[in-house]
Amino acid sequence: MIDYLIVGSGLAGISFSEIALNNNKTILVLDNNSQNSSRIAGGLYNPVILKRFSEVWQAEPQLVIMNQFYADLRQKIAIDFDFKKPILRKFYSVEEQNNWFSASDKVTLAPFLSTNLIYKKYQGIDSPFGYGEVLQTGYVDTALLVEKYREYLLANHSFLEETFDYCALKFDSDGVLYKDIKAKQIIFAEGFGIHSNPYFNNLPLDGTKGELFTIKAPTLDLDVIINTSVFILPIGNDLYKVGATYNWKDKTDLPTAEGKAELIERIKEIINCDFEIIEHFAGVRPTVKDRRPLVGTHSEYNRLHILNGLGTRGVMLGPAMAKSLFDQIEHQIPLDKEIDIQRFRNKTKK
């Protein structure tokens, strides 16, 4: 018997897998590659909501857990996927500068907002009002992390590539039985795939489609992340990842002409040099209307759990939410009411 059967190998699944392994638990991960939001994500971690100059929910404790988590994981899989890099908010007016300084006076934001404005001239960008620098930021190469972590699991005989068959799941007093696999607990970390899950598909997860580009811009001299209406992330060799759009109606992972036009327009608001679109991709983020993750235990089956709804901030949220769920299961430490699926009582079903 294994300790945990984990369905899904995106950021949520990776986070829970590692928390379990670091606590000497045995795991098996199942995935069928149907969800791509973790792989195509921008991967930014940023403790500030720059549209409103407000703090990300529980940003400080999330960053503490995240930094240790990725440092440990980086040593284990022997690949560098976590890149510390400044995020600069381009200002378009003196009013935006003033709003920045007002925000930096707040106790919760002071650790994250530098009060020294940056007036460095980056080739390919006009910014007469300068930039504000967000501290404790960077990005995770999520595609690389997902790929290398899967290789690690395969090498340790802890991964199966298959579509999960909910009809094959059975319960007994000791745990769960899935085909010929016996586990003490099962964790569903399926992202938008939750809509096929009969145990949790009544939870209000409303996917948000995002479209991104990889562009090539040889004359854009940028060694930081620029974030305004979209982010521009340098990834080397004159290549930049740019995103993202938000579409609450389209639930496909197919790039669209509308998304392409929107991204091009927003890029041109930030840079004034030529660029070539190398790749255009899309995915559906697992988002929740109240902007909080979906974490917890099924109301009827106490060995059946969910880790989902990480939305646009999965890189930051994943490790902390996985730790919270693990602590609830193993040590009976109550979940924060803001993330516990019991806030949607009577929404789960068999």
Per-residue pLDDT tens over the stretch 149-171: 999 999 999 999 999 999 999 99
| Contacts for 194-198: CB closer than 8 Å, 24+ residues apart | 194/286, 194/294, 194/306, 194/308, 196/166, 197/166, 198/166, 198/349, 198/350
- What residues are paired with 316 via a beta bridge? none
Per-residue pLDDT tens over the stretch 12-65: 999 999 999 999 999 999 999 888 788 888 999 999 999 888 999 999 999 999
Q: b vs e for 110-130, b when ≥16 Cβ sit within 10 Å of the residue's Cβ?
A: eebbeeeebeeebebbebebb
Model confidence, pTM: 0.94
What domains are defined for the chain? 2-43+143-203+289-344 (3.50.50.60), 86-136+208-285 (3.30.9.10)
> Which tokens sit at 63?
């960053």
Decide: helix, strand or coil at residue 270: helix
Per-residue pLDDT tens over the stretch 123-157: 999 999 999 999 999 999 999 999 999 999 999 99
How confident is the model at residue 346, as a pLDDT?
A: 53
Decide: helix, strand or coil at residue 64: helix
Task: Say yes or no to pLDDT of 215 above 50.
Answer: yes
Cβ atoms < 10 Å from Cβ of 269: 12
**What is the C-alpha separation between 184 and 172, in angstroms, rounded?**
10
Q: Which of 195, 185, 272, 189 is nearest to 226 (CA)?
A: 272
**What is the C-alpha separation between 295 and 298, in angstroms, rounded?**
10
Decide: helix, strand or coil at residue 83: strand
Per-residue pLDDT band for 328 (boundaries 50, 70, 90) equals very high
The mean of the pLDDT values for the chain is: 95
